[in-house]
Structure formats: C-alpha cells, structure tokens
Amino acid sequence: MMLSTVYTTLVWTISFLFTCYAGYYFAVALFGLRKEDPIPEAAPTRRFAVVVAARNEEAVIGHLVESLLAQDYPRELFDVIVAPNNCTDHTAQAAAQAGATLFHCTAPVRSKGEVLTQVFDHLLTQPYDGFCVFDADNLVDPGFLRAMNNALAKGARLAQGYRDSKNPHDTPISGCYSIYYWMINRFYSRARGKLGLSAIVNGSGFMVSASLLREMGGWHTYTMTEDIEFTTQCILRGERAMWVPQAVTYDEQPLTFAQSWKQRKRWSTGMIQGTALYLGPLVRRALTRKDPAAADHAVFFLMPVMTVLLVISALAGGIHWLAASPALLFPRTQVFFQLFFSLSTAILSAFAVVVLEKKLHPAIWKGIFFYWVYILSWIPINLLCLVKRTTTWEVIPHTRSLSFSRLDGR
C-alpha cells in the first residue's frame, strides 16, 4: 500500500510538472500564428563584416561566398571573411578564389566558438557596425544584409534570421531537420517576437552589433552549443534577440540518422552544459529583475531535467506494474494508445508547420512521417549525454554543392 501511494504521488507530480511545461510551450507557440509586424525599410548605411568559420568545406564554401557577394546591398559596405581552421582539404583556396578575405587563427582552436573568439578580437578593432555569422554550407538570400540593416536601424543589437533548408527533400532525415527548423522559426522565435521575448540564435544566419560585442569584451563561449550560450549571455545582460524573418539563410541538413545522432549528441551536451552554467543566473534575473525573457529562457534550459523526469516516471510505472502483476507490465490498450498519440501528434504537428510555412512538396512527406522517430530519439540521446558527454567537435560532411539559383522551393 505504501509503495502504491509513493508511486501514485510520484507519477502524478511528474505528470503535473510535464503538463505545465508542455502547456507553457503550447501557449507561447500559439502566438506564432499571429501576423508578423514588418520592420521598416532603412537607408543602407551600416557596415557589416560577414564571418564564416570553415573546416574541410571545400565542396560548398565557394557557393556560399558567391551568394554573399551577390547581396542586394552596397558592396563597399560589407566584407566577407572566411576563417579556415583544422582543414585537411583546400577550403582556404576555394574561399579565396570565390572572392573572400581569409582570416587565419593564430592559436589552436577546437570549436566554432573558439574560432569566433579570435575573429572578433581582430574585427572589433575595425569600423564595423554589425557582424553576420554563417556556416560554410549555407546559401544566403540576396536580401539578408538589407534586412539586418533594417533591424539595426530599428535598434536591434542581436537578431536571428529565418533558417531555411537547402536540401529538405533529399532523405527522411534532411526532411526532419527542415521541419524542426521551420518549427523553431514559427513557434519559438516568431512567437516570442510577438510577445516581446527573445528569439534564439541557432547557429547561423544571425547578426550581432559591434557595440554589443564591444560591451561584452568580444565573443567568449565555452559550451558545445556556442549559439545558445551566446543568446543566454545576451539575455542575462537584458538584451533580446530580434526575429528578422526577411533575412533568410538556406542550411544544408544531415542525410543519415548516424550523422544526425552525432550532431544531436553535441547539441544535447551543450544544453546540459548550459543548464549547469546558466539556469541559476537566469532564475535569479527573472526573480530579481522581473525579466520575462530570462524566465522564458530558464524554462528552455529545463529540457534535460524534463527528460530525466519523464524516464523516472516511465521506470516507476514499469516497476509498479511488475510488482502488481507481470501480466500487467504492458497493458495492450495503454501501450497502443500512447504509441498512437505520440505518432499522430508528431505527424500532425509536422504537417501543420509544413502547410503554414508553405513548404508542401511530394518529397517532404517522408520527413513528415519520420518526424516521430526523430523526436523520440532525443530521449536516448539526452540520457546518453547525461552519462557521457560529447567533448569534441566532429565534422558533419557537407556535399550538397548547390548555387543559389538551383535551390528548390524558393
């Protein structure tokens, strides 16, 4: 009787916490359905440095540089700077041949964050108004810099653009990644923009003002997810990342589940590191400064905690059923209901965002139907990283060598 009471209390408590967590995200996501507010056009007067950290990206770096040099923005107001690092191919030569200026790191680097530290230490001595950061496998819409110039004119000091996909139709995995980023665009960053909260910098296609970086003493990130960490550092200073959907970047997605597993282990490790470093300061700022953006970002960092609670609840349920009767360990109706609910929720949400973002295409269906597996696989990834974290930045091969004119579905 006592064990049954303990089990019931534990499961109901965890269920209540998880319901509150999911309910919060659902309520905020609804604001992603509201019409976006346009950013006023401004005269193109700001000077930008466009920064790309590149490691063994010979196959794709040329097309990125070409798309950057084709920006609908005065050519004298921006420079394209590529920082090749730890390369064993001809990335530097390909970037220079395409028209980029090269920056060579003067100290050993092990991650993108460390590359950015050295690049910005150098660039902050020069008269730039803002810095835009991209990954080497990207292609960039011609209106990107103009949109970020508008954001700077409106007062933004940190801004995230729309992260689209270069290859959403290649494989089920590339389709899942594309859907994942479309969801972040609409239901995370767009929704928070409507609420006056902070969008999230997600690795590429973002802008940071020179004034903000100078106040922060440059770029200093230490976790495996430098983008999330930098967002957090800015929120702790009272800054907000502005959502700028007119600034579009096309990103190359992994093709195989093995590549996805490797990449998401790094992401999960970075989340766990970020939770340990920043959850406390975010909660303190939320309480002492009454800062809703800090509170919202603290909820974001609860994700690893919620994964653990979910597993504890499942284990407690299994032990309870086993103790009561081995025959009741897996009641068929409950198992079938849970499988059907998770499968249908994942597929319907994936389909909904594809429709909302106007990305419906015959080849995206494989991503929609596989999205259930993609989402559920986060659970073992997070659990593995709690036990053994990824500490090295492993390269994900990028081979989709496309020019901007050959992009599908624009």
What CATH number is associated with residue 63? 3.90.550.10
Per-residue pLDDT for 141 more than 60? yes
User: Which one is predicted more confidently, 80 or 314?
Assistant: 80
Per-residue confidence (pLDDT) for residue 207, from 0 to 100: 99
For the four alpha carbons of 76, 231, 269 and 258, in that order, the dihedral sign comes to negative
Residue of 333 and 357 predicted with greater confidence = 357
What average pLDDT does the structure give for the chain?
91
What 3-state class would DSSP assign to 247? strand
Instruction: Provide, rounded to the nearest whole percent, the portion of the chain with pLDDT above 90.
Output: 77
**Cα 302 from Cα 187, distance rounded (Å):** 18
- The pLDDT, as a whole number, for residue 2 is 64
pLDDT, position 395: 74
Q: What is the pLDDT of residue 76?
A: 98
Q: Does 408 map to a domain?
A: no
The alpha carbon torsion through 160, 166, 169, 173 (nearest 10 deg) reads -60
Whether 185 is covered by a domain: the verdict is yes
Segment 298-312 shows an average pLDDT of 86
pLDDT of residue 334: 57
DSSP 8-state code for residue 35: P
Which is more confident, 409 or 191? 191
389, pLDDT greater than 90:
no
In the sheet that holds 158-165, the strands lie side by side as 101-102, 78-84, 48-54, 130-135, 206-209, 158-165, 242-251, 139-140
Q: What is the number of domains present in the chain?
A: 1
Q: Is residue 404 domain-resident?
A: no
252/402 Cα distance (integer angstroms): 10
- Whether residue 144 has pLDDT greater than 60: yes
> Which pLDDT belongs to residue 26?
95
CA pair distance 209, 215, nearest whole angstrom: 10
Alpha-carbon gap, residue 62 to 43, rounded angstroms:
29
Give the span between the Cα atoms of 277 and 269, in whole angstroms.
Answer: 12
Condensed to tens digits (0 to 9), the pLDDT of residues 211-232 reads 999 999 999 999 999 999 999 9
Please state, as a whole number, how many other Cβ atoms lie within 10 Å of the Cβ of residue 174: 26
Least confident residue range of 264-268, 295-299, 306-310: 306-310
User: What tokens does 57 get?
Assistant: 């990206």
pLDDT reading at 262 higher than 60: yes
Cα–Cα distance between 367 and 79 in angstroms, integer?
A: 37
Q: Is residue 154 situated within a structural domain?
A: yes
Strand 130-135 and strand 48-54: the pairing is parallel
What residue type is 116 in one-letter code? L
Residues 6+ positions from 90 with CB-CB distance below 8 Å = 58
Q: Is residue 402 part of a domain?
A: no
Task: Assess contact for 95 and 102: CB atoms under 8 A.
Answer: yes
Integer Cα distance of 341 and 348 in angstroms = 10
Q: How many CA atoms lie within 13 A of 100 on its CB side?
A: 30
- Please indicate, yes or no, if residue 405 is contained in any of the structural domains: no
Where does the pLDDT of residue 311 fall: very low under 50, low under 70, confident under 90, or very high at 90 and above? confident
- Residue 247, pLDDT score: 98
**Which pLDDT band holds residue 170 (cuts at 50, 70, 90)?**
very high
Query: In this model, does residue 344 exceed pLDDT 90?
Result: no
Residue 399 belongs to a domain? no
The distance between the two most distant Cα atoms of the chain, rounded to a whole number of Å, is: 77
What residues does 139 pair with on adjacent strands?
250
Binned at pLDDT 50, 70 and 90, residue 97 comes out as very high
- How far is residue 114's CA from residue 107's CA, in Å, rounded to a whole number? 9
Residues contacting residue 88 through CB under 8 Å, at least 6 positions apart? 56
With 80 as the cut, is the pLDDT of residue 56 above it?
yes
Give the residue-averaged pLDDT of 245-272. Answer: 96
Residue 23's pLDDT band (boundaries 50, 70, 90)? very high
Residue 31's domain spans which residues? 1-393
pLDDT at position 316, please? 66
Residue 317's pLDDT band (cuts 50, 70, 90): low
pLDDT at 11 over 90: no
> Does 406 fall in a domain?
no
Structure confidence at residue 329 as a pLDDT band (50, 70, 90): very low
* pLDDT value at 364 more than 50: yes
Percent of the chain beyond pLDDT 70?
90
**End-to-end Cα, the chain, rounded Å:** 62
Q: Which residue has the higher pLDDT, 250 or 387?
A: 250
